[in-house]
Structure 1
Amino acid sequence: MPGSSPLDRQHPAVPSPAATGTATGTASAATASGLSPSALATGLLVALVGYASSVAVVIQGLAAVGATTAEITSGLVAVGFSMGLSAIWLAWRQRQPISVAWTTPGMALLAATGPVAGGFPAAVGAFLTVAGLIMVAGLWKPLGRWIAAIPKPLASGMLAGLLLKLCLAPFVAMGQAPGLALLVLATWAVVGRFARLYAVPAAVAVALVAMALNPPVSGALPADPWPALAVVAPVFTWEALVGLALPLFVVTMASQNIPGLAVLATFGYTPRVPPAFLATGLASALTAPFGAPTVNLAAITAAMCAGPDADPRPERRWQAAVTGGVGYIVLAALAAVTATLVTRSPPILIEAVAGLALIGAFGGSLLAAVQAEEERIPALVTLLVTASGLSFFGVGSAFWGLLFGGAMHLLHRRRRTAA
């Protein structure tokens, strides 16, 4: 959800197309008249759960690369419109439940990378670069094939390495802010016992209430709760291009767009790929100057919208994705309050909430990294180098992890071929 929120990484069991009905994906197949109340309810649930599940990760990622509270607020507003409008357009145009989300793994990459040369304007330049690459991927088929050819264990190892430090934060927080940390952890554990889907949103809600009742380090809520846009002139640097834009593009394609398409295919939907990449890339490019991170196809929100719970009739489930898009636009109004609460709270508490939101993503990435025995060592090398924080020439560890892991992959493949 704003998918691939952490929920996008939990990989629930998905029915086969035979069990759900076949979706043709054409406008003529979607001529069923009338609105679907269940699809509308599902769409609202998707927006609420998606926003609450990973907004802390987005804020943490933007803050880590130098965004101020005003810039984070602007980014949340812009990305809400970016997700909402592109989801509405794609779902309505193709009459398929195509969900769009912010890149939660990509924001975790920002949080792990930290400040870049050139500050937040350089990060905005990286967002624009990624948006352009996504549009190129939609237009130029070889690039999409190259991204798809990156071994999944290596991409998963890189993602797991990025998430490891953040996933340790909830337990580090128990030593630094035991009262609040234990309260948040207990909420997450108890709610997860009965309704796993709501565990992270409940923990986020408790953390936000605690932040509001204990006005943190730098003051109280903003006098004007209405969000405002702030223009950030992009700066393009070599360090941000190689150390941030390229890993962010790889993570977005390998961990969001490709799995999102696979989930839709599981339910019998085959959306046209070029329009999907062009729409999300263009939306990202238009909103990046306002501090908005990249948006992409979602997986679990797509599964929620594409499943039979949204509507028994596959041809009406696109309405859930449209409603979810409307929900994201409405939730953009909360940006000022959310950004102020989170950025003015103790950093370890913010990291703890973000870590809880990413535990599912970490588990899914780790499993995908080590599952294939012949790729286990290259994937683990990728994970460890990425988690080490290694940096050369201003280039972050995600790039070097993929580079070292790729070298190990080639070495092991040649050895198997020789044998």
Structure 2
Amino acid sequence: MLHGKTIVLGVTGGIAAYKAAALCSALVQKGAEVHVILTASAAEFIQPLTFQALSRRHVIVDMFVEQDPTIISHIDLADRADLVVIAPTTANVIAKATHGIADDMLTTMLLATRAPVMICPAMNVHMYEHVAVQQNMDTLRERGVLFVEPAEGFLACGYVGKGRMAEPDVIADKVVQFFTKKQDLHGKTVLVTAGATREAFDPIRFITNRSTGKMGYAIAEGARARGAKVILVSGITHIAQPSGVQTRVVESAEDMYQTVCRYADEADVIIKSAAVSDYRPIEVHDQKVKKKDGNLVIEFARTKDILKHLGEHKQANQILIGFAAETERVEEYAMEKIMSKNLDFIVANNVAMEGAGFGTDTNIVSLYDQAGLVFSLPQLSKREVAERILDEVVARSKGKNTCMPK
């Protein structure tokens, strides 16, 4: 599966370094040419000879020991790599990669390579959750670095939580997926909105809805995997930000409107899956509103219609997709929305159906364009639904009416 691919495997100084040996073996068995770089700290946990036996290649620890005088090793590997995988990746190396520090063979090679980089964090749960580590990872994601999220479980330090390196077979599968994925959105910029907005009433309370952002995040991840530059404008969610995606977190409908407008003109495709508040409280109190006898009346005002604005200002050849989450008369409301907002197509669902509502990992959708129903899908995972939506985007970007066979 990886025949003809050159992978540089960086191993850094954590107890999970022993897992890297199994990963090296798995990649070699899948046909990859694997070159291993150990940091000096990693060599305290596992011997270079282990990786030399598994990869059948010289293992580099000291950048000043050159085995071949005709090349400069860190430049040679940087140029030859089809993918750089760092497993495990410590908080220290994540920080070095973020800030461009090059003080050993691995970090120097990282600055020199133009190959994609896949990072597999492994550390104590409190270290992983530290704001500095999270900000560093966010910065790397925005630069296009791929992440294989750590698993939750028993850690070497005795804690239980998120921070243990993903299992070698999981990482190997991610590598295979990287090389076999579709690249039919390469060169395209895709703007995705996701999640719910919040409209403040006072410093304590706000109005929102049940959207979790799972559908929009699945679309963003799918578009990125297919080669697109992805800008994700997200309401506040509890989902990890997708690797390699420029994520902008907003709170209110006005925040989302301003952020979407900032990026809309550069997008080839806009997929607006966010559940944006239609109304906001007219009066936002500076102090907590105290409980009193009797009823409380709140007056609401309409928020800006982001999708309508995008439809009115749609660029030539830009594809605009909306979502319609309904509880009745799904087709009628979807068709009204697609016509009034100048959409290329709309993804509609009945959120009252089991398996199709907010917060689930599945969805049941129908796709409509201005001529009517294009197709209906059975219950699928949200990532599968995302792929079908992106298939339709690709078909229409090529001038086809639909991706569905006649």
TM-score scaled to structure 1, two decimals? 0.23
TM-score scaled to structure 2, two decimals? 0.23
Bigger fraction of residues in helix: 1
Indicate the structure whose relative CO is greater, using CA pairs within 8 Å and at least 6 residues apart: 1
Bigger fraction of residues in strand: 2
